[in-house]
Amino acid sequence: MASIHKVNFQENRSNDNNNDISKLNERERKKIQHELKIYMEKYFKQKLGKSVDYTKIVLCDDMLIIQGEGFLTEPEKYIVKTTAGKDVVNNARMHVAKQHAIDNVPYFETLLDAKMIHQTYMVEAEKDFWMHVIVFDRVLTQ
């Protein structure tokens, strides 16, 4: 699934004092956010047979935030309306979120030339919402 190439952080940028790796300027940040949005939509389409209706990617300081809405299938939307069904769908989708992290964090690390030091993900099936937040070992943006 790695259709996005690693960004060359050394071209035309000021160096980061800490580890000699440059930070993304505004144009580069927006470009990567857009590319990651397309990548995530393709990833879920390939893995689940359905993409999310809305994807938002934010690169800020040392964080990557991935937010998705409209990821439930029609049967899941029906099931989630009950208390027991909500728990079942939340647990199933949390498994999907964990697998997404396993599959994609190494790619994000390579793309951004940074190592993940913390992450968390959240699924709210009753609101058809999920989020993955990754904190990296360096500041990514100017």
For the stretch 18-34, pLDDT in tens is 455 789 899 999 999 99
Across 15-29, 50-64, 125-139, least confident range:
15-29
Placement of tokens 């927006």 in the chain: 30
Q: For 134-141, what is the mean pLDDT?
A: 94
Does 2 reside within a domain?
no
pTM: 0.79
Does 116 reside within a domain?
yes
State the average pLDDT for the chain: 84
Residues 6+ apart with CB under 8 A from 69: 52, 53, 54, 127, 128, 129, 130
Does 13 reside within a domain?
no
User: Do residues 98 and 121 make contact, with C-beta atoms less than 8 angstroms apart?
Assistant: yes
Does 115 reside within a domain?
yes
Say how many domains are in the chain: 1
Does 8 reside within a domain?
no
Domain residues for the domain of 100 are 31-136
